[in-house]
Amino acid sequence: MKPSIQKLQKIFKLEADRGYDNHAVMGGLDRILDVWVNEAREDGLPDDLIQFVSDRIKDYGRLTEKSRAEMLQGLWRRIQRGETEEPTQETVEPTQPAMEEIEASADVSPLQELPEIAPTDQMESMPPFQASPAGATAQAMIQEAVQLPPLEPKALSAPLTAVRGIGERLAANLGRLELHTLRDLLYYFPRRYDDYSRMKPINRLNYGEEVTVIGTVQNISTRPARSGKLKITEAVIHDGSGSLRVTWFNQDYIARRLHPGMQISLAGKVSQYLGRAVMENPSWEPLEQEPLVTGRIVPVYSLTEGVRQKWLRTQIHKVVSYWGPRIPDYLPEEIRRSAGLMNLPTAILQAHFPDSWESLRAAQERLAFDEIFLLHLGALGQKRAWKDRAARVFSVDPEWLDAQKQRLPFPLTNAQQRVISEIQQDLQSGKPMNRLIQGDVGSGKTAVAAIAIAVIAHHGAQAAMMAPTSILAEQHYKTLLNLLTASYSQPDMDRLNSNATPPLRPDEIGLLIGATPEGEKQRIRAALAAGTIKLLVGTHALIEDPVEFADLQLAIIDEQHRFGVEQRAALRAKGDNPHLLVMTATPIPRSLALTIYGDLDLSVIDEMPPGRRPVSTFVLTPRERERAYTLIRSQVEQGRQAFIIYPLIEGNDHNDVKAAVDEYAVLQKEVFPDLNIGLLHGRMRPDEKDAVMEDFRQGKYHILVSTTVIEVGVDIPNASVMLIEGANRFGLAQLHQLRGRVGRGAEQSYCLLIPDHPDAAENERLQVMASTNDGFVLAEKDLQQRGPGQFFGVRQSGYAEMQFANLTDIRLVEKACRFAQMLFDQDPNLTRPEHQLLAFALQQSWGGGKGDIS
């Protein structure tokens, strides 16, 4: 079966599993058409069949669920008649019968008493697709075609009202926690655990330890701090052995929920104040004695209004104890045994109600392994699907390439030379390039991209570069215009030859952004469709419908994490399997790149151009702010400019964090009344932001007060000072990105970090910034300190969010990736009978196969 038909088969299967809700593809099934039509043509499908599929899927969203099922059935029969590929000789056992769902009734018997669920008459096993009777449902037909067994009992999709004790009102409360089905409860894991078997009395607490304390509230009160913006809630907890003072900041509601005489449990870090034990901002909950709590490690779940910890723990215990053992383990036995992992049913039970800390760690390792394993396995599949397609070959004469490199206004570093060689190999391979260039701020990624564009233009084809903001797009346009059209040949006329001729003329490069005048947009679109524009630089305006390329063969995406899957796919769809080059200045640790970018070939520019001076970085306390202002004034007097960054746009009464709008007024009136200060933040309109940035670039402002909206893509060579307020609120990688906005000129530049409070531990973390300018070192530190959340937040690949995997655990990451690669090498399509459960688990994790290449 051809790849384009296989893709439709998987999507139809997922759509049937979802009840024909038109969400098997994000945004609706019709969103796949632009990409699928190109793939179908490449596979040689008849034009009338491609048109038939397109017409039907375009109307899919307007149909009822019943009509959608009938339409998919008829559509698949038509595809089968039009599919010219020889039938495969492989045979696979039919799927297990689908299971009847539990009735959504509050009167259903208790969960522990539920009988085994019998298959319905309508969902008995059917013959293979080709022999499906005319009256068969599309859902059953598609299930048989994909040949995947159920991963878990069908009853787990039943609503929570199927559990005795959960009525409509409580189900609605649980819905606020995104808990809607029995499966949701089964996989709603604790946020922490309290070890009630090893409780410590207050008089035996040690400073610095994380503990749980049980005691009685003696008194509680709330008072404002001296600043007036902060409210402090204080309580004294007594357990018979001693007293503990507890403080919460800006959580005055706690004073309304706690009262003297109430027994509570507290969990937090013990510190000291004036020689006495204290806790700041601990977690707390009312003390409840029950069999699930006393004498064991107790799970603690996140709650919402109307849901009590004791009640939720009891409901989850019902579901886990009954359904946990009934979950089949999709991981092949050979892998589970070789990797030394706990089986899945036991891992689920121990993750909720561990018998010991050792059992809990083993359960968490199994679940973390699965997350990394499935992520990497899916990425490998995406990479192979991309490489299975053909692309145009772009080979160039080595002398021409060398001449183009020498024509640049600066010598290339060894790292740039290496990456250009990797790109050259991709372009002449006959397979679509799918490469990520990872390079620190100022490492020269744009110059490398320029050489790739030159190769494409040398063959008369087109390239496009998409940037996330108008400011960055204009910056790239000016840079590429300079690199690709200007002549930097030597004065010696004897050295001039055709190889040194600039690859493009100025009129062959276009800029398309939201602010481009309509008349200019029409001219660009016409020239692009005619093929006279060879390089188009712009924002997401590039992927709008009126934009058509004559021959797009290279798509470049800068700061790729700023774009979603659909936007990247839409740009690729403008061409015929174009080569893809994505770039990022966000340093990504090796362990992270190994997993989340497993579908990309990775190139790293790990060398800075010679002569670039490192930015001198200093951590100041809030009391030393005047030193920062003195440095700024000194630099301005020397003709340079400065950034002052704040974490918030506007302040409020709930915190004392400095904010851009408030501090802008103070700085202009009180600190720098004689200087021109600009203000930039995310709530401003795009044209307003562009105007302020351009004025700053032109030197109309001495100082720019901003939020992190300037984190990426702002190139102001005259700026020499970066002052970051509330620096403790940022990750090291983000601070490094902000620091990269200065030091782009020839003069020495400075980065000053001021945390909210003079906390020694926080200052120690920030001191790492002062010790190195290497973004990759900082990214590793950031991953250790803050976790992988920020990296996964930008991936947008459709992969389910990780709950257990800690990507700083290099041993586990490499082990999971090693076993994923081994399995992929043996059975890339997961067609073996012993891999059928795993195939279904992979499909669920990746949302039906939707990812970067879809």
Q: Cα–Cα distance between 422 and 424 in angstroms, integer?
A: 5
Q: Per-residue pLDDT for 133 more than 60?
A: no
The more confident residue out of 483 and 758 is 483
| Angle at the Cα of 769 from the Cα atoms of 767 and 770, rounded to 5 degrees | 65
Q: What does the pLDDT read at residue 741?
A: 85
Q: Confidence band (pLDDT; 50, 70, 90) for 291?
A: low
Q: What is the pLDDT of residues 324-339, one digit of tens each?
A: 888 999 999 999 999 9
Q: What is the pLDDT of residues 178-232, one digit of tens each?
A: 999 999 999 999 988 877 666 788 888 888 887 888 899 999 999 888 777 788 9
Q: Confidence band (pLDDT; 50, 70, 90) for 696?
A: very high
- Asked whether the beta carbons of 24 and 848 are under 8 A apart, the reply is yes
Axis crossing angle, helix 3-17 with helix 138-146, rounded to the nearest 10: 130
Share of the chain above pLDDT 70, in %: 81
Q: What is the pLDDT of residues 607-624, one digit of tens each?
A: 877 767 889 999 998 889
Q: Per-residue pLDDT for 736 more than 70?
A: yes
Alpha-carbon distance values, 526 to 20, 464, 480, 548, 828 (Å): 40, 15, 21, 9, 44
Q: Confidence band (pLDDT; 50, 70, 90) for 643?
A: very high
- pLDDT mean over 518-546: 91
- Asked whether the beta carbons of 446 and 535 are under 8 A apart, the reply is no
Which residue type does 108 have?
V
- Asked whether the beta carbons of 465 and 480 are under 8 A apart, the reply is yes
The more confident residue out of 507 and 195 is 507
- Dihedral sign of CA atoms 345, 351, 355, 360 in order: positive
Q: What does the pLDDT read at residue 123?
A: 25
Query: What SS3 state is found at 610?
Result: coil
Q: Cα–Cα distance between 805 and 175 in angstroms, integer?
A: 26
**What's phi and psi for 35, nearest 5 deg?**
-75, -40
Q: What is the pLDDT of residues 99-111, one digit of tens each?
A: 233 323 323 333 3
pTM of the model: 0.60
Contacts of 183 (CB under 8 A, 6+ apart): 152, 156, 157
Q: What does the pLDDT read at residue 565?
A: 61
Q: What does the pLDDT read at residue 218?
A: 94
Q: How many CB atoms lie within 10 A of CB 825?
A: 9
Q: Confidence band (pLDDT; 50, 70, 90) for 344?
A: very high
Which residue type does 501 have?
T
Alpha-carbon distance values, 561 to 197, 550, 588 (Å): 46, 27, 12
